[in-house]
């Protein structure tokens, strides 16, 4: 209940709010100016009122709104920044002067919303609605805000309230119906749509809107199992031409018939769909499923002939469609596979299809098919080599070489042969020196063989063969990043980015190019520049926030447009957004760095070599110049109102990310990312959560995270490593203490669960050596070596900081298993293991050299692992080569 | 390769493909705007791994609404998947929906004067005609051909 003082204050505020005639006229004008976006006039009117009534809260609020709405979105500029601050000051004052007005709170909400603080905006709106519960604009705004925040129940209350106040507006019906869908009550939603459908004639919807609404209603009926109703509505709407023959409608019809058991009718629909789009894979799968044939599992011998007849029929009817021919390759085996894949390959070789290998690569997962494809390719090679003289076959031979080179260097190939791949590409390159694909493939092979710099050079050469192609440009830039040449990469990317962007990277960031930001972040991280690495990762994370924020406008827009299926797709997209591959990569990488600087705060600052320091100074100067240019431009801009729009945004005040990393609280930062990742949990998110919980000493959370991770992938190297870490923690002093602090029952559950990871009677050492014995690939062996190191370090007595020679030797022996000849080489693991020898293992140079020379033996082409002198002399040779090409080129002119 | 109607979940893949292929790029919201306004008009081509390797991003003309006409905002295919007929197939699917759902009379698009592959695709393969030139249409000063496809309508 409001106190006496409070109600007195309220009464006074209400009294103060009333303005004399002149000023209240000005106030109305002020509102009109705001609506009409006449910012200058608006401010003038506000100032006139404020001159007499400086404490008038609502005027202060609207003035804040007028100023705020005139500012450019998201990009503060030299002139807009102080204005933004002024608007914030004004709204704060307004709220202080008149906290009893729904207008001041509503304005506050609008400003917060424009700044993308949706939660704050919802709070402000809640206050406004307490004052004026029946106010329609307030209700409308709150629906979108609650929906954006995924508070669907609250949103639904507002939707129903809105509907009660304005029962005749059809648009509100849709709002209520969608609200039910979001709350998981499709039946209620359907009731509304049913009514709306009956009223369709007098809704004033156009034909497209009617079709959208109708399709969505039918889809919902199917979802809840009302098939006969769905069919009736669909048939009726097709007949009266509400629904056109587009794929959405036809797929729905097929599904309904299928559900109703009317297989022939369903088949007829799928055949129509295939006729419309014979390249859609799912139509074939769905059609065959009707006939009891499941493309997702092995097809039995007796069903095979029937399957082939049908699919061959399609292949014949739609000769230009590749889908039926390609699908057959998935289902046949043995000789049938051989003859069909050969025909498929021959056509591709002779037409010149570079993507043939990506097309067939999935098949190579099956050993038998891999072998057949390999053999077939060699046969074609011999065949075309014999005919080499005539033109068409010379092309076919080129693509055959290209195919073989790609396949014998690929992950799926059991006997990789990088040298031969390069040899074939060399021959192809000599005969076809202008085809970029040859060099492109060369780059791929070199990368896999452990020569990133050679790979980048090959891609650079490919790029130069077709400078107008952005694809080659982007791939070349990416390879330069992989090779650690960040500046060179920037120059290459810059050939296609906007010329007026401060840097190529800034344009790519503005265009939300996540893969680039992650690659550059990784490159910085490898170079030891953690501040910039984190900066790039966080930029990706910010992009995903932008994507989520972008959804806001569509909560109203789609309902107006009645694109309800699309709207539901957007909500699904939102639910899955934080498990997107690039987000996960960026968040996990950022967390790794945060963990590093938490464990060793000295890493917050970059340790630069003198050359790097010079480089950094140069870059800082450049950034400063760009900054003062922006400020200068800003200073001259405001005189011309048209130009105001083009005012450059303020330069980044921390372009190198150094200030941020110096000040950030790493565990808070990790927590923020873990919370985001958790919205759609994945193996990666549980692993990151474990790392965080371990550093926060939250035992129960560690256990839970590992329990989930273990369920998802018990054998994963990281899962193994962390399970060992967990077991050690539980049995350590700190762990025992943490356990003792918990309740007894929880402890029992906890211990039982940990036994799932490590049986009580087995020591961590035993578990680890069992794991090592069961797994024979580089990643797993490395995980066992690291775990061994952890276990042994944990047994160190007081005052000991380093493992004994014997213990070290044990770890080193395990590490050496990584490079044994019967284990597939793994470049990433090799690099990590080499670093591991230095830190934390602190091995002797000798031990590390033994590993390195084994690596060199395994990867004879692996320049990444060569002596610096060798790398340098190759660079020199390249420089000479480039010079001579350049001078030759000049003399030709 | 699989050719199917694009969903909102494909938009990031389309944006990524666009950034790899063309200098004309858009922020995500513009893709979302297409998907939420004309969800039937955009299509993707995916490789066996399910990654987007080609797309058509299309819309209806919002300015001249008396005669409904379609417009191709962007179309491209990753270089390693070109010459498989993907672009032509994507265009035909989009055309079908423009025609039947939106009752389009014609489709327009812009293409760089120098973009021979694309011009050949539109003119020789898909039956577009050159209907105009817009001087300095692109950010780097290059001019655009306007090309038009007419549906057979009375
Ligand atoms: C233009 C582009 C979209 C064509 O994609 P695509 O999938 O390779 O094209 P298709 O395989 O469907 O080609 C169909 C027809 O177009 C023509 N065509 C396509 N590429 C061609 C080329 N490089 N040279 C000559 N004709 C070409 C041919 O007539 C071809 O039929 P054919 O293969 O039977 O001879 C693709 O090259 C691309 O993405 N380029 C970069 C981005 C771009 O320029 N987009 C267009 C912006 S307006």
Q: By the CB < 8 Å criterion, does A322 face chain B?
A: yes
Inter-chain touch B21–A470, beta carbons under 8 Å? yes
DSSP-assigned states of every residue in A615-648:
HHHHHHHHHHHHHHHHHHHHHHSTTSTTGGGGPP
Contact B110, B134 (CB under 8 A): yes
Residues A38 and A30 sit within 8 Å (Cβ to Cβ): no
DSSP conformational letter for B7: -
Q: What is the mean pLDDT of residues A844-856?
A: 95
In the predicted model, is pLDDT for residue A405 greater than 50?
Answer: yes
Per-residue model confidence (pLDDT) at position A341: 96
Atom of ligand 1 nearest to the CA of B121: 16
Q: What pLDDT is attached to residue A640?
A: 42
Of A224, A250, B83, the closest CA to residue A234 belongs to: A250
Q: Please tell me whether the peptide bond between A840 and the residue prior to it is cis, using omega within 30 degrees of 0.
A: yes
Residue of A nearest to B117 (CA): A469
Place of tokens 């919902």: A220
For ligand 1, atom 27, name the residue with the nearest CA. Answer: B117
The answer to which of A380-389, A508-517, A775-784 has the lowest mean pLDDT is A380-389
Summarize pLDDT for A628-655 with one digit per residue, the tens. Answer: 665 565 555 444 444 445 677 888 889 8
Q: Which of A494, A570, A680 is the best substitution to test chain B (most B C-beta atoms within 10 A)?
A: A570
Average pLDDT of every residue of chain A: 90
* A640 to chain B, closest Cα gap in Å: 23
- Count chain A–chain B contacts defined by CB atoms under 8 A: 132
Strand B52-60 versus strand B43-46 pairing type: antiparallel
CB-CB neighbors (< 8 A) of A569 in chain B: 7-9, 35, 39
List Cβ neighbours of B121 (8 Å cut-off, separation of 6 or more).
B87, B88
pLDDT in tens, A688-736: 999 999 999 888 888 889 989 999 999 999 999 999 988 888 777 776 7
What is the dihedral sign for C-alpha A236, A241, A243, A247? positive
Pairwise CA distance, residues A136 & A102, whole Å: 12
When pLDDT is averaged across residues A429-449 and rounded to a whole number, the result is 94
Whether chain B has a CB inside 8 Å of the CB on A510: the answer is: yes
Determine the Cα–Cα distance for residues A83 and B122; give it in Å rounded to an integer: 49
Q: How confident is the model at residue A439 (pLDDT cuts 50, 70, 90)?
A: very high
Distance CA A492, CA A497 (A): 9
For residue A556, give both structure tokens. Answer: 């109203």
Q: Which residue has the higher pLDDT, A412 or A492?
A: A492
pLDDT in the model for residue A644 = 43
Count of structural domains within chain B: 1
CA pair distance A817, A832, nearest whole angstrom: 14
Residues with Cβ within 8 Å of residue A540, at least 6 apart in sequence: A514, A517, A518, A521, A582, A583, A585, A586
A566 at interface of B, judged by CB pairs closer than 8 A: yes
Least confident window among A192-206, A230-244, A626-640, B5-19: A626-640
What value does the mean pLDDT take over residues A360-376?
A: 92
Contact A673, A115 (CB under 8 A): no
- Which residues of A are less than 8 Å from B21 in CB distance? 470-471
Q: Model confidence over A51-67: pLDDT tens digits?
A: 999 999 999 999 999 99
Closest CA to A17 of A30, A27, A7, A3: A27
User: Edge-to-edge strands of the sheet including B144-150?
Assistant: B2-5, B43-46, B52-60, B69-77, B106-112, B144-150, B129-134
Range(s) of the domain holding residue B14:
2-150
Which chain B residues contact residue A557 at CB under 8 A?
36
Q: Decide if B84 and A572 are in contact by the 8 Å CB cutoff.
A: no
pLDDT at A208 over 90: yes
Q: Which single residue is written with the structure tokens 């290998």?
A: A357
Task: Please judge whether A359 and B47 are an interchain contact, meaning their C-beta atoms are less than 8 angstroms apart.
Answer: yes
A320 and B47 in contact by Cβ < 8 A? no
Shortest CA distance from A556: residue in chain B:
B36
User: A806-836 pLDDT, tens per residue?
Assistant: 999 999 999 999 999 999 999 999 999 999 9
In ligand 1, which atom is closest to the CA atom of B115?
Answer: 44
Spell out the residues 6+ positions from residue B112 whose beta carbon is closer than 8 angstroms to its own.
B118, B138, B142, B143, B144, B145
Test the B interface: residue of A249, A251, A277 with most B CBs within 10 Å: A277
pLDDT at A614 (0 to 100): 74
pLDDT at A140: 93
Of A140, A65, A119, the closest CA to residue A95 belongs to A65
φ, ψ at A488 (rounded to 5°): -55, -45
pTM equals 0.92
Which of A211, A279, A573 comes nearest B2 by C-beta?
A: A279
CATH code of the domain covering residue B26: 3.40.630.30
Cβ atoms of residues B76 and B90 within 8 Å: no
pLDDT for A642 equals 43
For residue A746, the model assigns a pLDDT of 62
How many alpha carbons lie under 13 Å from residue A329 in its C-beta half-sphere?
A: 27
Is this prediction's ipTM beyond 0.85? Answer: yes
A419 in contact with B at a CB cutoff of 8 Å?
no
List all residues 6 or more positions away from A14 whose beta carbon is below 8 Å from its beta carbon: A100
* pLDDT level of residue A388 (50, 70, 90 thresholds): low
Pocket of ligand 1 (CB under 6 A): B 21-22, 75-77, 82-88, 111, 115-118, 120-121, 124-125
Residue in A884, A878, A883 with CA at minimum distance from that of residue A456: A878
Rounded to an integer, what distance in angstroms lies between the CA atom of residue B75 and that of residue B44? Answer: 10
In angstroms, the first-to-last Cα distance of chain A is: 91
User: Could B2 and A512 be called an inter-chain contact, meaning their C-beta atoms sit closer than 8 Å?
Assistant: no
Q: Write the residue with the smallest CA distance to atom 43 of ligand 1.
A: B76
Q: Which residues of A touch B1 (CB under 8 A)?
A: 279, 322, 359
With 80 as the cut, is the pLDDT of residue A845 above it? yes
Distance A466 CA to ligand 1 centre (A): 15
> What pLDDT was estimated at residue A77?
85
Gap from CA of B41 to ligand 1 centroid (Å): 20
Q: A558 and B32 in contact by Cβ < 8 A? A: no
Q: Which residues of A touch B58 (CB under 8 A)?
A: none
Question: Which residues of chain B make contact with A576, given a CB cutoff of 8 A?
Answer: 9
Asked if B28 and A546 come within 8 Å (Cβ–Cβ), the reply is yes
Nearest CA to ligand 1 atom 44: B118
CB under 8 Å to A115, separation ≥6 — which residues? none
């Amino acid at each position: 209940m409001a106190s006496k003082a409070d109600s007195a204050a309220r009464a006074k505020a209400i009294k103060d709010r009333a303005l004399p005639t002149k000023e209240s006229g000005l106030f109305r004008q002020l509102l009109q100016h705001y609506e009409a976006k006449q910012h200058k006039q608006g401010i003038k009117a506000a100032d006139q009122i404020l001159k007499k009534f400086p404490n008038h809260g609502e005027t202060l609020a609207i003035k804040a709104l007028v100023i705020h709405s005139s500012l450019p979105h998201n990009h503060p500029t030299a002139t807009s920044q102080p204005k933004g601050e002024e608007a914030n000051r004004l709204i704060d004052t307004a709220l202080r002067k008149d906290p009893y007005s729904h207008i001041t709170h509503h304005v506050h909400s609008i400003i917060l919303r424009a700044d993308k603080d949706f939660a704050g905006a919802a709070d402000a709106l809640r206050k406004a609605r307490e004052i004026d519960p029946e106010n329609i604009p307030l209700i409308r705004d709150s629906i979108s805000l609650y929906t954006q925040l995924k508070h669907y129940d609250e949103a639904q209350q507002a939707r129903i309230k809105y509907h009660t106040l304005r029962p005749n507006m059809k648009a509100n019906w849709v709002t209520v119906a969608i609200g039910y869908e979001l709350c998981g009550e499709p039946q209620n939603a359907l009731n509304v749509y049913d009514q709306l459908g009956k009223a369709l004639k007098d809704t004033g919807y156009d034909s497209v809107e009617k079709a959208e609404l109708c399709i969505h209603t039918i889809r919902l009926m199917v979802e809840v199992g009302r098939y006969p109703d769905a069919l009736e509505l669909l048939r009726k709407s097709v007949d009266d031409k509400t629904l056109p023959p587009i794929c959405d409608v036809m797929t729905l019809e097929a599904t309904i018939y299928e559900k109703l058991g009317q297989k022939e009718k369903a088949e007829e629909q799928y055949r129509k769909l295939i006729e419309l789009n014979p390249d859609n894979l799912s139509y074939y799968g769905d059609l065959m499923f009707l006939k009891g044939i499941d493309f997702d599992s092995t097809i039995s011998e007796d069903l095979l002939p029937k399957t082939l007849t049908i699919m061959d029929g399609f292949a014949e009817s739609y000769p230009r469609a590749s889908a039926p021919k390609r699908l057959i390759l998935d289902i046949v085996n043995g000789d049938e596979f051989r003859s069909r894949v050969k025909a498929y390959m021959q056509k591709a070789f002779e037409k010149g299809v570079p993507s043939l290998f990506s097309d067939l690569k999935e098949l190579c997962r099956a050993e038998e098919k891999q072998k057949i494809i390999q053999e077939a390719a060699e046969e074609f090679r011999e065949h075309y080599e014999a005919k080499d003289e005539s033109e068409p076959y010379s092309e076919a031979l080129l693509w055959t070489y290209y195919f073989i080179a790609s396949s014998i260097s690929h992950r799926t190939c059991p006997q990789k042969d990088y040298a031969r791949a390069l040899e074939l590409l060399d021959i192809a390159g000599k005969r076809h020196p202008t085809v970029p694909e040859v060099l492109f493939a060369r780059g791929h092979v070199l990368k896999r063989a452990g020569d990133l710099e050679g790979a980048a050079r090959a891609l650079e050469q490919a790029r130069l063969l077709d400078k107008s192609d952005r694809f080659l440009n982007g791939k070349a830039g990416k390879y330069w990043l992989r090779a650690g040449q960040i500046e060179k990469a920037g120059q290459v990317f810059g050939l296609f980015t906007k010329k007026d962007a401060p840097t190529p990277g800034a344009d790519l960031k503005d265009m939300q190019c996540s893969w680039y930001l992650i690659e550059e972040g990784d490159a910085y991280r490898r170079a030891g520049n953690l501040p910039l690495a984190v900066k790039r990762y966080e930029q990706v994370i910010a992009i995903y926030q932008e994507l989520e924020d972008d959804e806001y406008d569509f909560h109203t827009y789609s309902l107006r447009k009645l694109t309800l299926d699309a709207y539901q797709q957007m909500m699904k997209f939102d639910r899955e957004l934080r498990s997107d591959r690039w987000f996960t990569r960026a968040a996990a990488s950022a967390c790794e760095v945060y963990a590093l600087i938490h464990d060793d705060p000295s890493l917050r600052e970059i340790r630069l070599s003198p050359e790097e320091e010079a480089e950094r100074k140069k870059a800082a100067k450049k950034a400063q110049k760009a900054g003062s240019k922006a400020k200068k431009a800003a200073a001259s801009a405001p005189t011309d109102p048209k130009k105001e729009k083009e005012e450059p945004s303020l330069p980044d005040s921390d372009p190198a990310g150094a200030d941020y990393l110096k000040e950030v609280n790493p565990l808070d930062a990790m927590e923020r990312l873990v919370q985001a990742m958790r919205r759609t949990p994945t193996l990666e998110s549980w692993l990151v959560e474990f790392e965080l919980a371990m550093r926060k000493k939250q035992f129960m959370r560690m256990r839970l995270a590992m329990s989930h991770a273990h369920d998802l992938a018990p054998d994963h190297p990281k899962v193994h490593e962390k399970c060992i870490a967990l077991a050690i923690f539980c049995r350590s002093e700190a762990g025992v203490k943490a356990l003792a602090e918990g309740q007894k029952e929880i402890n029992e559950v906890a211990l039982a669960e940990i036994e799932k990871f490590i049986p009580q009677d087995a020591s961590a050492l035993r578990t680890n050596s069992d794991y090592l014995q069961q797994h024979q690939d580089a990643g797993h062996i490395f995980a066992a070596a690291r775990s061994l190191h952890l276990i042994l370090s944990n047994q160190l007595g007081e005052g000991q900081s380093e493992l004994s020679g014997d213990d070290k030797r044990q770890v080193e022996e395990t590490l050496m298993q990584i490079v044994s000849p019967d284990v597939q080489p793994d470049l990433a693991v090799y690099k990590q293991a080499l670093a591991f020898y230095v830190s934390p293992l602190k091995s002797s140079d000798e031990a590390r050299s033994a590993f390195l020379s084994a690596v060199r033996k395994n990867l004879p082409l692996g320049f990444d692992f060569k002596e610096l002198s060798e790398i340098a002399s190759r660079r020199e040779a390249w420089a000479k080569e480039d010079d001579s090409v350049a001078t030759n080129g000049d003399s030709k002119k | 390769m699989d050719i199917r109607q694009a969903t909102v979940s494909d938009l990031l893949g389309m944006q990524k493909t666009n950034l790899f292929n063309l200098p004309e790029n858009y922020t995500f919201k513009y893709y979302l705007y297409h998907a939420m306004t004309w969800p039937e008009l955009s299509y993707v081509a995916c490789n066996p791994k399910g990654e987007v390797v080609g797309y058509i991003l299309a819309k209806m003309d919002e300015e001249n609404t008396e005669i409904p006409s379609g417009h191709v905002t962007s179309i491209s295919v990753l270089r390693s998947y070109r010459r498989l007929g993907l672009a032509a197939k994507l265009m035909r699917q989009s055309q079908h929906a423009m025609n039947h759902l939106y009752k389009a009379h014609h489709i327009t698009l812009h293409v760089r004067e120098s973009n021979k592959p694309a011009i050949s695709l539109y003119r020789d393969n898909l039956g577009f005609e050159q209907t105009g030139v817009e001087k300095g249409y692109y950010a780097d000063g290059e001019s655009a051909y306007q090309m038009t496809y007419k549906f057979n309508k009375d």
